[in-house]
Amino acid sequence: MIAEIGLAALWLAAALAVLQLLAGFLGVRDENSALVALVRPAAVLQAGLCAVSFGALVYAFAVTDLSVKLVATHSHSMKPMAFKLSGAWANHEGSMLLWITVMALAGGLIALIEHRLPKRMMMATLGAQACVAVGFYLFILLSSNPFERLSPVPADGNGLNPLLQDMGVSFHPPTLYIGYVGLSVAFSFAVGALLTRNVTPEFARAMRPWVLASWIFLTIGIAAGSYWAYYELGWGGWWFWDPVENASLMPWLAATALLHSASVLAARDALRTWTIMLGVIAFSMSMLGTFLVRSGILTSVHAFAVDPERGSFILVLLALYIGGALVLFALRANTIAEGERFALLSREGALVVNNVALSAILAIVLLGTLYPLLTEAFDVRVSVGPPYFNPVSAIFFLPMLAILAVGPMLRWRRDSFERIRLPVIIIAVVTLAMFALVLVLSDIGLLPLLGLATAAGVAIASFMPLRGRNLLRTPLPVWGMCVAHFGVAVALFGVAADTAFQQERLVAASPGDVIEVGPWEATMMSVSPVAGPNWTAMQGDLLVSYDGGPMREAHPQARSFWAPQGETSEVALLTRWNGQLYVALGNMAEDGRWQLRLWWKPFVTYIWYGGLLIAFGGMLALLGRVIGDVRRRSAEVRDEERRIEEAELAAS
């Protein structure tokens, strides 16, 4: 019964999306049409219905309703409750339902709270949002119904892939999806602005919080995903340039560029066409990512060709929406008047360089991700991995960091180098000093060396914009920018330090053996069996000490799950301020010794601290913008009231 309610709510939501689409676009043609009043309620109600539908699916998973096919194939009655719940979106159908629910919630929210923009433009925006939603409703309802029943009902479910039975997976996909789909709002705003020829600073100010919020979620989602891969896969890697990772990185790169160009448009009324273009591209990258991950094309192009139903469906949606938006852009771009002018040496100039570099990195990641798929279609298999992505993206990334260091100190419109000469010299000296220091003290590769040097420079530079300001009166968005840029330096430092200085020890050990890795000394005490709710494991007991310091315990496990069968490595992580010791237990060798893998990873944690700082900076900026908007609005309301009172006084 609950499943049927979920399905019915989804169909109703789809019907409302069609209504919103038609009424919205009618409203663009004729603002006084009777249907216009229905657009906002349709969007809000749709959000409610989707929430009900998603709730129904989560409920079916919570009670392990095995008559629902999706539950039977992806859950198991013995699973811990947290993983039963997260199992609802750890599969194709459920994740698509999550996608459309987030999209409906975002659409409902703009319908509810966004009242600043001209009415026609809002109608176009909500119409565009509904237009995208309709495609995804059709996709779910026709090819991926999550509520399909199963008869006869099986005795128990198949269970969830053990790798996914982890708290990381409970939060990673929803965070990432909120980010992905939040960008649909930017897309709809861009389409709305194009349709009604309304590319203005007001449009950018309305769109900016949405881009910012999506970008924060994407940042957290990517950082969480990377940390999950780091501790769950058991080999200490945190970024693989794997197509699935790239699928989440590409929208982030586009959103980062969009964020910066929207700021230029909002503050200076420049970069109009460019901002619109990025708005279209950002969500296009989200859809492309969904296509890559959900169509099965990554496993094999040929597997995709054999069972192409879902894949082709998304591909058609992708072609329609991206193609449609680009055609609209091509038709309307020339009607957008050129924005305000600015000099090369100005805040805008720096942001243009930043945008071009980010777009170039995006293009490279896109190329490296899609090219192997393209050649595979012609039966030529090539692999593109870190040896390609690292240096090629660094060509654009390093100059971008140089601009990142200097740009925020520049004034809008036009500036002179003399004004910022001192801070630039300081930054350059710090960077070169770090470069020389590392070069003399150690023998590491060129990329990590450049990484460490620029990280130092950017770290100093990120707080330079606060120079000469009253810190208490500095607006929150400026603080946000400084914190986020500092986060970039911190993350870069972590990446470079781990790449350059990590130490690895792979040994076969028996109880009593002492293993040294970097400054750590680990003593293997014993290996004993332990059991959990749906797994058994061999657990290693080690005593480790850093540089002769106090002993700490480490308990890495090699787990075996039985429903479904699978093995995972639960690594032991010992965190210090300056890095992590990573201990993984492997199999027993023939002679009864145990395989142990230990890594000393100096400053590796700074990668994710940096990611969180970037997201935190975004939150500060968002908070500042929202507070600013609320203040402005209440000031307007007060002005209005005063005017009415004065009019009344005058009349009496």
Partner 1 sequence: MMRWLLLLLAVLALVQPASAQDRMPPAPYAYTQLQDPALEAQARELMHTLRCLKCQSQSIADSDAPMAGDMRHQVRARIAAGQSPDEVRAWLISRYGDYVSYDPQVSATTWPLFVLPIVLLLLAGTILLRRLGKRAADDAA
CA distance 420 to 464: 10
Site residues for partner 1, window 511-570 (CB under 8 A)?
567, 569
Position among 116, 381, 467, 631 found at the interface with partner 1 (CB under 8 A) = 381
Helices vs strands, H then E, count in the chain: 18, 10
Q: Which residue, 361 or 554, is less far from partner 1 as judged by CB?
A: 361
Min separation Cβ 280 and partner 1, Å:
18
Residues 247-276 that bind partner 1 (CB under 8 A): none
* Site for partner 1, residues 331 to 360, rule: CB under 8 A: 341-344, 349, 352-353, 356-357, 359-360
Regarding 589 and contact with partner 1 (CB under 8 A), the answer is: yes
Name residue, tokens 């009777």: 34
Q: Which among 148, 177, 180, 143 is positioned nearest to 313, based on CA atoms?
A: 143
Which residues, other chains included, contact 600 with Cβ-Cβ below 8 Å and sequence gap of 6+? 502, 503, 517, 518, 519, 520, 579, 581, 582
Q: Is 299 in the site for partner 1 (CB under 8 A)?
A: yes
Name the β-bridge partners of 530: 537
Which of 375, 545 has the CB closer to partner 1? Answer: 375
Query: Least distance to partner 1 from the beta carbon of 382, Å?
Result: 5
The nearest distance, CB 340 to partner 1, in angstroms, is 10
CA-to-CA distance for 290 and 315, rounded, in angstroms?
10
Binding-site residue total for partner 1 (CB under 8 A)? 53
By CB under 8 A, tell whether 363 contacts partner 1: yes
Among the listed ranges 239-247, 421-429, 450-458, 489-497, the one in contact with partner 1 (CB under 8 A) is 239-247
User: For residue 382, how far is the Cα from the chain centroid?
Assistant: 27
By CB under 8 A, residue 446 contacts partner 1:
no
Asked whether position 384 contacts partner 1 by CB under 8 A, the answer is: yes
Question: Residue 365 corresponds to which tokens in the numbers above?
Answer: 């990641």
Contacting range for partner 1; rule: CB under 8 A; set: 287-295, 387-395, 420-428, 465-473: 387-395
Helix-strand-coil split of the chain, %, nearest 5: 65, 10, 20
407 is a site residue for partner 1 (CB under 8 A): no
Contact between 380 and partner 1 by CB under 8 A: the answer reads: yes
Burial of 78 (0-12, 13-18, 19+ CB in 10 A): middle
Q: How far is the CB of 575 from partner 1 (least distance, A)?
A: 21
CB of 345 to partner 1, least distance (A): 9
Instruction: Using CB under 8 A, pick the residue from 157, 234, 465, 611 that binds partner 1.
Output: 234
Give which of 250, 125, 104 is closest to 199, Cα–Cα.
Answer: 125
Asked if 615 and 220 count as a contact pair (C-beta separation under 8 A), the reply is: yes
CB 50 within 8 A of CB 63: no
Instruction: State both tokens at 330.
Output: 């091509």
Binding to partner 1 by residue 119, rule CB under 8 A? no
298 near partner 1, judged by CB under 8 A: yes
Task: Single out the segment in contact with partner 1 by CB under 8 A; choices: 27-35, 84-92, 128-136, 367-375.
Answer: 367-375
Based on its alpha-carbon atoms, the radius of gyration of the chain, rounded to whole angstroms, reads: 27
User: Considering beta carbons, is residue 217 or 342 the nearer one to partner 1?
Assistant: 342
Q: What is the secondary structure of 443-500 as a DSSP string? A: ---HHHHHHHHHHHHHHHHHTGGGTTS-TTTS-HHHHHHHHHHHHHHHHHHHHHHHHH
Q: Could you give the CA distance from residue 92 to residue 244 in angstroms, rounded to a whole number?
A: 14
Per DSSP, 588 falls in state: E
How is residue 149 annotated by DSSP? Answer: B
Least distance (Å) between residue 444 CB and partner 1: 11
Structure tokens at 530: 């332990």
Rounded to a whole number of angstroms, the minimum distance from the CB of residue 364 to partner 1 is 6
Measured from the CB atom, the residue of 134 and 356 that comes closer to partner 1 is 356
In the complex, the smallest distance separating the C-beta of residue 169 from partner 1, rounded to whole angstroms, is: 17
Binds partner 1 by CB under 8 A, chosen from 11, 142, 235, 419:
235
CB of 371 to partner 1, least distance (A): 6
Tell me: does residue 197 bind partner 1 (CB under 8 A). Answer: no
Q: End-to-end CA distance of the chain: give it in Å, rounded.
A: 64
Interaxial angle between packed helices 119-143 and 36-62, expressed in degrees from 0 to 180 and rounded to the nearest 10: 30
Closest CB to partner 1 among residues 353, 542: 353
Q: Which CB atom, from 242 or from 636, has the smaller least distance to partner 1?
A: 242
Rank residues 243 and 617 by Cβ distance to partner 1 and give the closer one. 243
Q: Could you tell me if 365 and 393 are in contact, meaning their C-beta atoms sit under 8 angstroms apart?
A: yes
- CB-nearer residue toward partner 1: 167 or 367: 367
- Least distance in Å: CB of 505 to partner 1? 7
Task: Identify the residue among 387, 532, 549, 564 touching partner 1 (CB under 8 A).
Answer: 387
648 binds partner 1 per the rule CB under 8 A: no
Secondary structure (3-state) at 118: coil
To partner 1, the closest distance from the beta carbon of 388 in angstroms equals: 6
CB of 120 to partner 1, least distance (A): 31
Cβ-contact 421, 365 below 8 angstroms: no
Q: Supply the DSSP symbol for 165.
A: -
Q: How far apart are CA 543 and CA 550, in angstroms?
A: 10
411 binds partner 1 (CB under 8 A): no
- 392 counts as binding partner 1 under rule CB under 8 A: yes
Least distance to partner 1 from the beta carbon of 368, Å?
Answer: 7
Q: Is the peptide bond before 152 cis (omega within 30 degrees of 0)?
A: yes
| Residue with the two structure tokens 């315990």 | 553
- Sites of contact with partner 1 (CB under 8 A): 233-235, 237, 240, 242-244, 298-299, 341-344, 349, 352-353, 356-357, 359-360, 363-364, 367-368, 371, 375, 380-388, 392, 395-396, 414, 504-508, 567, 569, 586-587, 589-590, 595, 597
